[in-house]
Every structure is written in structure tokens, then in C-alpha cells.
Structure 1
Amino acid sequence: MDTLPSLSQVIKDHGLLGDKKLSKRLGQNFLLDPSITDRIAKAAGVLTGFHVIEIGPGPGGLTRSLLKAGADHVYAVERDRNCVAALQPLLEASQGRLTLVQADALKVVPQTLTPSPLKIIANLPYNVGTQLLLNWLKNLAGLHSLTLMFQREVALRIVAPPGSGDYGRLSILCQYLCEAERLFDLSPQSFTPPPKVFSSVVHLHPKVLSDEAKSLVPYLEKVTMGAFGQRRKMIRKSLKPLFGEEKLEEVLALINVPPQERPENLTLDHYRQLAKFYSQLS
């Protein structure tokens, strides 16, 4: 791969930033500095013995780092046909360790691309990053870890503790299903073109949950949606439509939550218990 053209040259040769409206719509902000892409690949841990799924490879900066770091095979999912064309030289240089998948990542189920063990490592497009994560959380089978770049405000929500302004539904779902850690931030100047916001790399490692714990996820989704749909309301008001007034008062008393408490002040275990009680009502 040492003979490949520079990433800047790849972008220029294939006009990857020629259509600014398309680039914005696809959320394309490319990482060209190999020291940064190498750092992301390293943050994902040992790659030897793993298949890696990358979303939105663009000109292939992170893809090169993943291959260099020893991934058994990289499956790069790219929607933009111009980027797919730009990646052809890297495909040829990969010695059979790279597969290009031209598709909308929102419609791709990772487990259908490759057998486990697999890791997802990606600089996610800002406009679909949160939805992609929510999709993957619904099926973590075979996923060893996810190392993902988000805009920083999303990363803060993923790892937020109870009582903070960033704590909400995304925090609870991620932390119920995974061990989540925000690793490092990147300034807008790290990207081409530079976005208007800082970015953060987050590492998520799926927890080993019992069948009972897994069965609570749909109820946890409904409870958190109700609780944070109007987050300034007291919990007795926001969850009343789900439980009914009398039952909710009983449940809150059992889990030692004052009825006037705000949703952002309840812990992950409070929400787990609420989901369990709600499952018994359904």
C-alpha cells in the first residue's frame, strides 16, 4: 500500500468534494492525517483475528489504517459511488483483505456482511450517526466492540452521568447495553472540509446480559421515551400515560424515587426497575 497516492490526491482525482451540496447531505468530513486515523485504529484494540466494518470510508484514510493495524478483513460500506470508485486502487492493494459495499449504511445489518467476531470502527457521518448507533444497539450479537466518531455533543450524551444536562435516553440505552467511554476529541481542523463542531471518539463494549435483562430493552425504550419526551416535567407526570397515576405512585415508592423528581436525576438502575415494572403491566 506504500505506492498508493496521497489521500489529498485521491480526493482531487475523483472530485470527492466537488459537489458541496452532496457532501453536506452525506455528512462527508474526511480524515486525511494518518497519525489520527492510526490513533483511531489503535483505540479499537487488537484487530488481528477480527473482521472490521467501516462506515463511510470516503477516500480511505481510516481504511488504510485498519488494514495496516492487522484487521483480518475490512468491509467498507460507502453510499457515494464516487468514493467507491476512488477506493478501487486500495481494494487492489489490499491483497484480498478489503470488500467494498456500496449501500446505505442505515439499511445494512452488520451481521449479514461477515461472521463474528467483528468490530465496527468508523468516522460516522454526522447526519446519521445517532440513528446508526440506535440501529446497532437493537442487535449486538457477534459484535465485540464499536469504536465510533461522533460530533462531540452526541458523544457527551452517550457517556453522560445522571444529573447532567447531557443525560437522557441515548445515555441510558447505551449504558444499559454497553460499557461506554469517550476516548479523545478532535478539532474541526482535523477534517477536510472542517465541520463547525468538535468531534469525539467513543468506544463501546457490549455487556454480557442475561436473557431477562435483554427482554427489558423494548420496555426500557418506551419508558425512556416517555420520561424524556418532555424532560422538564416531573417523573410522575411524564410517566403517567404509561403506568397510570395510581400504579406509578406505587412503583416510584418501591424504587425510592420522589414523584416530583426530574427524569435526568434518575439512575440507570431506576430506569431498569421502571422497565421491569412496565413489562409486567404490558
Structure 2
Amino acid sequence: MAQFDLCNQSEVKRLLEKYDLSPKKGYGQNFLINTNVPYRIAEESYEIACRGGSERHGVLEIGPGVGALTQYLCDTYEKVVAVEIDRGLIPLLSEVFEDADNLTVVNTDFMELDLAAFLEEHFGAIIKDGGTVSVCANLPYYITTPVLMKLLEAFPYNAPVPLAGITVMVQLEVARRLCASAGSADYGAISAAIALRGEAVKLFDVSAGNFLPPPKVASAVVGIIPHGGIREIYGSCPEDDGECEKFARDVSEFIRLAFGQRRKTLLNAVGERYSKAAVTGALESLGIRADIRGEKLSAAQFCEIVGKLKGI
């Protein structure tokens, strides 16, 4: 693996030409060409993984590209599973990582995976031994939200997400939204959805010149650290796990409705699904103005409102 300089622009171009490949706009491919960036992403990801004190750590990489980040994940983690949708990159990755015994490359669409089953298949031994699994990715800008929502919603809300952390490089503007607090200009549905499952922190910025081809916008790396489940932010959740899960899914759907039409007040945004009188009553009982918009409400407040509506 050391024979390939995967962050050298000439080397990347040579490898792509050898396999008759080029960056595909349809897959949002922009390959890293600065060693410091993937090295730091891997280090930040591993630091998050080690927070709980476990000794064994695996990582799922989404979209390895030519392997610039993959090489540092292999140097850092006990086991790396890289999911790559582009079939054309598989022979290239096979050559580059021929000697990487701790790497498995899977040619599939991440969005089509049964995530829980996939993690059990590839990381079951590590999980059973008390180890952790993380997710790391340089995400194409067009698929950032779908990928993150899949990661956040693939597991029950009534328990911790079985991931030590999610470390992703995304468009800078998106990074601001992921980390935004209620009431800020960048706060939106994805901000609230993340807050239901954990905390997002912007780790560092990445300029466009670090990529081949360079994108038109700057990027940033964000770390998402899951918390202990919805009961951690709403203590009045039903004790029964099934009822708690149903409540959490109701909150998630309520958030989608609240942000579905940003110019509308909360009352009007959720009016087709919930009685305006009931929502008004819930808001009043919580001391919240009836004309409030969804972007002013925190994840905990969304839980409180739905709790009132459901009599919880």
C-alpha cells in the first residue's frame, strides 16, 4: 500500500487513467489530494471512537473513492469496511489495497443496505467483544442529508445509536446546518433530527483546493456523537420501549412537518395532520407563542409539544 501516494495529484490521475476512469459528477466524486486532510479525519474519527474506553474499534467508510482516506483508516482502526457504489473503482482499490488485511471493500449502494444487518455481518465479532463501530465518509454533497438520515433513523430511538461516532466531510454550508442551534439562521430539519440522536460539532474547515477536481464550494468536517437515546432529552418518554419508540417516530415526523414549509408558522405547517386547537393548547401549556415557527424550537421542545399532543 505504501507504494501509492493517494493524495498526490499526478498519482491519482495516473491511477484513474490506468483504469480508464474519471471523476463522475453523477456520484459527486471529488478526490482528496492533500495528505493532511484524510489523516486528520481518521484521527478525529478514532478519537471520538475511543471516548467510551473500548479497546476494539471498527469503521464503516462510505464512498472510499481512490482510497485517500481509506489508507489512514486502515492504519488507525482494527477493521475497515468500505462501501463503494462505483463498480469501476473496485479494481483500482483492489490493486492499491492488495496488502491491507484489515480492509473489506463492498461494491454496493449504501442507501440500499439493511444497515443493522450489515454491521452485524461485518463487525459482529468486534461488537460482541464490547468494541465500537464508527462511520467515516467524504460525502458527495448531493447525498449528504439522505445518508445522515439513514444513519440516524436505521436504529431504534429508545436506545443509543450503536455507532461510536459519525465523522463526515460535507459542504461548509451543510456543516453549519448540521451543527446549528435552534433559532439560528442555519437551523433546520436536519439540525433538529441530529439533536434527537446526538450532538454535531464542526471539527475543521477544508478549502476547495484540497480536491481533484476542486469543487465550487468549501467543505468542513463534522463529528456527530450519539447520546443515550430519546429518553436522555425527554425524561417523560413512556417506560415501555415500544411506546417510547412510537413516540420518538411521531416526534421525528412532527419535525419534518414543521420544516416542510418554512415560511409558515408551526400551527399552519402541521395543520393538515394535527388539530390547530390541539397544537395551540399544547403550545400555551408550555408557555410557547402560538405564532412560533419550527426553526425556533429545539429538539427537546418538539418532544414536549408532541408529548402534550399525545397525552404523554
SS in 1 for 2:273: helix
Q: Tell me, yes or no, if structure 1 residue 270 matches structure 2 residue 301.
A: yes
1:59 maps to which residue? 66
Q: Tell me, yes or no, if structure 1 residue 114 matches structure 2 residue 119.
A: no
Instruction: Report if the CA contact (8 A) 1:11-1:59 is conserved.
Output: no
SS in 2 for 1:33: coil
Q: Tell me, yes or no, if structure 1 residue 261 matches structure 2 residue 292.
A: yes
Distance 1:208 1:238 in 2: 30
Q: Tell me, yes or no, if structure 1 residue 227 matches structure 2 residue 258.
A: yes
Structure 1 gaps of 5+ residues are none
CA displacement 1:177-208 (0-9 Å, x = unmatched): 11211111111111111111111111111111
Report percent identity of matched pairs. 31
Instruction: Report if the CA contact (8 A) 1:16-1:83 is conserved.
Output: no
1:12 maps to which residue? 14
1:130 maps to which residue? 145
Question: Shift in Å at residue 6 of structure 1?
Answer: 4.4
Distance change in 2, residues 1:279/1:11 (3 Å): farther
Distance change in 2, residues 1:195/1:105 (3 Å): same
SS in 2 for 1:143: coil
Distance 1:278 1:64 in 2: 50
CA displacement 1:100-123 (0-9 Å, x = unmatched): 100111112343142232100110
User: Which stretch shifts more, 116-125 or 232-241?
Assistant: 232-241
Distance 1:16 1:259 in 2: 62
Distance 1:39 1:217 in 2: 35
**TM-score of the aligned structures, taking structure 2 as reference length:** 0.82
1:195 maps to which residue? 215
Distance change in 2, residues 1:2/1:80 (3 Å): same
Root-mean-square deviation (CA, aligned residues, Å) is: 2.2
Distance 2:182 2:151 in 1: 23
Distance change in 2, residues 1:167/1:17 (3 Å): farther
Structure 2 gaps of 5+ residues are 50-54, 156-160, 232-240
Instruction: Report if the CA contact (8 A) 1:55-1:76 is conserved.
Output: yes
Match of 1:157 among 156, 174, 177: 177
Q: Tell me, yes or no, if structure 1 residue 79 matches structure 2 residue 85.
A: yes
**Aligned partner of 2:56: which letter?**
G
Question: Shift in Å at residue 156 of structure 1?
Answer: 1.1
SS in 2 for 1:274: helix
Q: Tell me, yes or no, if structure 1 residue 44 matches structure 2 residue 49.
A: no
Question: Shift in Å at residue 16 of structure 1?
Answer: 8.4
**TM-score of the aligned structures, taking structure 1 as reference length:** 0.90
Question: Shift in Å at residue 2 of structure 1?
Answer: 2.2
Distance 2:244 2:176 in 1: 25
Q: Tell me, yes or no, if structure 1 residue 100 matches structure 2 residue 105.
A: yes
Distance change in 2, residues 1:158/1:176 (3 Å): same
Distance 1:166 1:236 in 2: 21
Distance change in 2, residues 1:109/1:15 (3 Å): farther
